[in-house]
Amino acid sequence: MPTYEYECKNCGYKFEKFQKMTEDPLKICPQCKNQSLRRLVGIGGGIIYKGPGFYTTEYRSEEYKRKQKEEESLISKTSSSNIPSSSSDKTK
Ligand SMILES: [Zn+2]
């Protein structure tokens, strides 16, 4: 999980926040309650990884495992009559 650094343009309050890649950036300063937060751009565009290629490796292995599973289930389901039309519909 990446860490984002935020700074308030209004009161200068700085803090770090663990967020998912998919989460929206914060806007409201927890200190002065103004919508004056900005995400600091540092390594990797404001994202601090735990190591080089951390996310990429994680993502790849997840994706790889998922594909392997899909293939396995496809193979095991080929013998039975019912094959799901699309397995890429489960992204949500
Ligand atoms: Zn503030």
Fold of the domain spanning 1-56: Rubrerythrin, domain 2 (2.20.28)
d(C-alpha 80, C-alpha 92), whole Å: 27
Cα–ligand 1 centroid distance for 29 (angstroms): 5
**CA-to-CA separations, 70 to 8, 65, 73, 87, in angstroms, rounded:** 45, 9, 5, 8
Give the environment of ion ligand 1: residues with CB less than 5 A. 8, 10-11, 13, 29, 31-32
The model scores a pTM over 0.85: no
pLDDT in tens, the chain (92 residues): 678 899 999 999 999 998 888 888 999 999 999 999 998 865 444 455 555 555 554 456 677 778 888 888 887 776 655 556 666 666 66
Per-residue pLDDT, 75: 79
The neighbour count for residue 6, using CB atoms within 10 Å, is 20
> Domain boundaries in the chain?
1-56
Report residue 72: phi and psi, to 5°. -60, -45
